Structure 1
């Protein structure tokens, strides 16, 4: 109980909020080209040093508790201590989704908040590798990563990008391992299925989808996105239509039999309630007793069909997912015994969360608007749910955990 008692004393006897606010001011509002602004910044920095010194003098291992006050709220610090009590380990890598996790159009104009970017640099300076794990293309992710984190950090050798939901891994500074195309390891039969679907998906678009969707520029996954605002009624309609269209394309790619599309619909409807719901709403759900031939099942077992309401319809390989990409990234980064913080909001992120949980490889956190499966998993593990647009709160908690372990 000693650590709990020390935290109670830290947040009860010292003005930790003032310390944290001063630290944020110093970190996020650096000196400007103004004598007045520079003078004010220096005053705050001096006051911060004095406040931290008072905490250092009041605690054994005072540096730790001064940094805790400067980096975490009372609730974040106690959550971190609960995690330390449960796991006894520091986070040794961050695994972070981008869209709707690090950034959120709902609160931050779809830009990663400055506070989040600064916290990532703080983790980097304590030798914690960063794995950006996203469904976006490599070029898109490299662009915002370099713009937000800086070219030096991105090319430091401690940052890896798992892109297109696990089809590739990019880790600058690692020579022959800098870029690994994981889809090249797939069987020819699986690659041929994706080649067929990808070759036809835009060329054979039905009239009702032309001009309404676009193919996301992935190297391997086949993802249709709406040409309407994500979450809108129009986006919901065209993504539902796109899901059925892609199921049928997949059925035709897997077998020459005319029943291929029916078998594909039946296979995925039986395995995903959301897909079943889309088909049922359209009165296109196959008979539940439909028998899918073993040879077709064997191939479909290797293909994931993902439905994101009013956002995307996607085909990907079972063997290529974010979890596989994260494992490859950690291998390149040299993280042999991972205990990661996974942050994400979608079904593809759930694969990584389950991977982490299954081998005591880390903890999972998610924004409160995440998909139901993600929220269920996070609440059943450590209940690390944060508000939309507030990824910084979870990063602060993880930073506090590491301070407590060191």
Structure 2
């Protein structure tokens, strides 16, 4: 009897729903001092052991099948079986975005669910390194990861944080490689652009805009955040305005740092942010052409450029080619280096973790996460999963590969599939 038939028989003949309920109760039971509650937990644990023992005694690979049935639904198990048939190998690293991926503001009060944290811990205990890959600052991510997963796991030597979308990598317990500042490898002229933008981004902003947003505490990327609840109408308004301002400021900084700037036709390179100078038109034209969302925001803000991309001087355009402008609706406007993206950071983290032949689970929701997914597919280095509210480009990629799409706040369902996949690989 092959695995498909064995697993089909498992879910047909045994009360696997009850088994999973017992396992979840035992795993997620909160710490209490009540003797009655502890006795209740012990009764559930004893019943769970008995049901697992019954399955273990009924199949040749009974212990493995009991663990599978206790942790995954029929659908999750057969999804894992399909993945095993397709790839024939186990996942050896988790590469995970946080916001709207592990946690969801709409469904989980923006906290990572206890179930997800427990499943991450279980997978880590089987020897799978965790790479958190986010646009957030290192200190912020490190703080809530320690709070959620514990200091021991975060400092285990097999846990890494790729922060600010790839500008730095933090892997505790690896000596001089514990912190890699990837942005220090950038060319001096690119670093100068970021330095100029950062030094002016608040001081040069119009007074009302300056009061309505703040600068995220990044080491390198320049990120504007609203002083309002993320997702609110007020946040949407200020981030849309801030995006236009940031693009204009970037255009001026790029022109100032290009050698021979006097020859590219800029009459007022030190003009204020609301200038109609060519540097602003060039920046708006370039980033509108690069991203339809940015193009739409510029149009809504009455900031449509007066020139075409083809009219941008080569030396200016080549600088824009290396700098990314990211727009997150009602959340943030950001500039970052395209020489340092999430795939670059992830590969650096895997190098520190000494994973020579990666096969990762990549989970994310944004265009920056899509770049990791595309790298993983092109390199035969993993598979991708995304929440159903992810960017359409992300969803298109996931649908075209393994269709691992989950409900908001339910990242645990994908982790369960991966747990079964790895058990099948050892069967």
Is residue 383 from structure 1 mapped to residue 403 from structure 2 by the alignment?
yes
Is residue 392 from structure 1 mapped to residue 412 from structure 2 by the alignment?
yes
Shift of 1:237: 1.2
Shift of 1:264: 0.9
Contact 2:224 2:333 in 1 (8 A): yes
Shift of 1:148: 1.0
Q: 1:281 aligns with which of 277, 282, 300?
A: 300
Contact 1:30 1:41 in 2 (8 A): no
Deviations 1:213-243 (A, max 9, x none): 1111100000101111212221111111111
- In 2, the alpha carbon distance for the partners of 1:323 and 1:346 equals 13
Deviations 1:310-336 (A, max 9, x none): 111110000111111111111101111
Shift of 1:75: 0.8
Shift of 1:272: 0.9
Within 5 A, what are the aligned runs for 1:302-341? 302-341=322-361
- In 1, the alpha carbon distance for the partners of 2:308 and 2:388 equals 37
CA RMSD across the alignment = 1.3
- The two structures have a TM-score, normalised by structure 1, of 0.97
- In 1, the alpha carbon distance for the partners of 2:323 and 2:368 equals 14
Shift of 1:208: 3.4
- In 1, the alpha carbon distance for the partners of 2:352 and 2:48 equals 39
SS at match of 1:166: coil
- In 2, the alpha carbon distance for the partners of 1:211 and 1:311 equals 16
Report the equivalent of 1:76.
76
Gaps of 5+ in 1: none
Relative to structure 2, which stretch is displaced further, 276-285 or 360-369? 276-285
Is residue 46 from structure 1 mapped to residue 46 from structure 2 by the alignment?
yes
Report the equivalent of 1:267.
286
Relative to structure 2, which stretch is displaced further, 133-142 or 26-35? 26-35
Relative to structure 2, which stretch is displaced further, 325-334 or 276-285? 276-285
Shift of 1:372: 1.6
Report the equivalent of 1:209.
209
SS at match of 2:211: coil
Structure 1 residues 32 and 235: CA distance shift in structure 2, 3 A: closer
Give runs of ≥4 in structure 1 deviating > 4 Å: none
- In 1, the alpha carbon distance for the partners of 2:42 and 2:341 equals 48
SS at match of 2:327: strand
Aligned length: 406
Gaps of 5+ in 2: 257-265, 267-276
Contact 1:367 1:386 in 2 (8 A): yes
